[in-house]
Amino acid sequence: MPNSRGRLALERFQKALSWFESPVMTLEPPGESFMRSRSNKLVLFGVVLLMAGLAGRAAADTTPESRTQAKPAVSAPSATKAPSPKPSPKASKKPPVKQKAVAISAKKASGPAGSRMTTGTRAVALTFDDGPDPVQTPRILKLLAQQHVHATFCLVGRNVQKHPELVRQIVAGGHTLCNHTWNHDLKLGKKTAAQIRADLTRTSAAIHKAAPKAKIKYFRAPGGNFTPGVVAIARQLGMASLYWKVDPRDWDHPKGETDAQHKKRVISRVEHNTHPGAIVLSHDYAQPDTIAAYQTLLPWLKKRFTLIGL
């Protein structure tokens, strides 16, 4: 170790010095004392110089290594540019998924004389015409209640007069009412404005007599035979004219067609032609096969569409 070396050199120097000063030196003859004394002093001086050199070297060895070792040069910090932030990875572009519009333009989906033929939304509306029927109307009301579906009933004034209790059942079920003329007049649009107004007013009066607080929101011309005059008068009486988008022709019974075939045809046409926003035309008056068809159609439609009563 560096400190032990220094101490060892110092001890040797002290021993040498004590040797020259020891009593042995006084035993020399008197004649040689002067020369011996001078010679001894020179030797002693040389030894002192030698010891001093060794002591200095030893002292130098005691210098901490941290002083003898060159410290690494500290370079000035280079003005390095801060790394520019990496742009966040862009999401991979996926082809846009085409979505059907929620709202459907009433202008593009208008029927004859500006009548309404779609719901204006993605919902589908079921409509039943020509009733009320004492047998078939209760059947369809029961099916609708079981499926928690509301529909629109287009009522003929003459039948309303005969079965007012069915009108009240329709209203109690939360369904929508529609004026379908007094006697299902297919040529009403060709009559005078006064005659048209009288027919519609008479029909609405019969409905209100059966259900005083009921609101009649729509009018449907028999056979879809709308004219500008009929539509205008219905509007003046507070009713919007209601056409349809899907007609399964359930009222048509070709010769030779069985009940099973008729039912199958109605189901097929409704399933293949009903799309979002459609208004579906059907009949409850004297149409038992239509009611049977809706036993299948109602669950099928409900799984695919929101069904509303308009």
Catalytically active residues are 129, 283
CB distance 126 to 149 below 8 Å: yes
Amino acid at position 88, single letter: S
Locus of tokens 């009929």: 230
CA–CA distance, 46 with 65 (Å, rounded to integer): 31
CA–CA distance, 307 with 304 (Å, rounded to integer): 9
Residue 110 structure tokens: 């208008």
Question: For the chain, where are the E strands, in sequence order?
Answer: 124-131, 152-155, 176-179, 216-219, 240-241, 279-283, 307-308
Locus of tokens 């572009």: 93
Burial 102-130 (b: 16+ CB within 10 A, else e): eebeeeebebbbbbbbbbbebbbbbbbbb
CA–CA distance, 138 with 36 (Å, rounded to integer): 156
Q: Which of 16, 5, 240, 283 is nearest to 127 (CA)?
A: 283
Task: Give the phi and the psi of residue 113 in degrees, each rounded to 5.
Answer: 60, 25
Specify the length of the chain in residues: 310
